[in-house]
Amino acid sequence: MYNYIEHQKFSKWISFTLGILTVLMIYLTIKSHNTVVFLKILLFGLVPIVLLLLLFLTASLKTCLDKEGIKIKFPPFRFRYLKISWNEIEHCQVRKYRPMLEYVGWGLRYGVRSKAYSVGGNTGIEILLRNGKRIIIGTQRAEEAKKMVNQFVKK
């Protein structure tokens, strides 16, 4: 039984914008009478935008906290749960961070000896592991997450 579960998805505006670009690329592809231009629009425009649209539509971050520890799943980047027991954690807190400066954006991001799982916003559960690695998990429910972290983290 989990005491805290949070499901997050990327903003609908990202999907909407990519959807508009997809429609525009389809229109340009249909209107193209030149085979070379058609193939370039298809290969370099439509295919990458559709793949990005599918990525943003299917990506979802699931965070679970319970007496065992913290579990993270972020398909399509991570299909299985990353399980972190409370014993592996040196320090844990909920804090504001700067996604653009610290990780150059949202998603699954890598920094120096750190990793971020985020779909938006600037608040996250920061975990400092005993091995020196750091993980930030984005949250939209900071106060609730803070209560759960304070309940489980060993002082």
Between the alpha carbon of residue 32 and those of residues 14, 20, 36, 153, the distances in Å are 27, 18, 9, 60
Q: Is the per-residue pLDDT at 154 higher than 70?
A: no
pLDDT at 143: 94
pLDDT at 65: 93
As a whole number, the mean pLDDT across the chain is 87
Q: Is 146 a domain residue?
A: no
Q: Is 113 a domain residue?
A: no
Phi first, then psi: what are they for 153, rounded to 5°? -70, 140
How many angstroms separate the CA atoms of 138 and 21, rounded?
Answer: 28
Q: Is 154 a domain residue?
A: no
Q: Is 19 a domain residue?
A: yes
pLDDT 10s digits, 3-41: 889 999 988 887 788 788 888 877 777 777 777 777 777
DSSP 142: H
Q: Give me the domain span that covers residue 36.
A: 7-58
Confidence grade of residue 50 (pLDDT, cut at 50, 70, 90): confident
pLDDT at 39: 78
Q: Is 65 a domain residue?
A: no
pLDDT at 23: 83
Quote the number of domains for the chain.
1
Q: Is 72 a domain residue?
A: no
Q: Is 150 a domain residue?
A: no
Q: Is 46 a domain residue?
A: yes
Q: Is the per-residue pLDDT at 155 higher than 80?
A: no
Model's pTM, two decimal places?
A: 0.79
Q: Is the per-residue pLDDT at 1 higher than 50?
A: no
pLDDT 10s digits, 62-120: 999 999 999 999 999 889 999 999 999 999 999 999 988 888 888 888 877 899 999 98
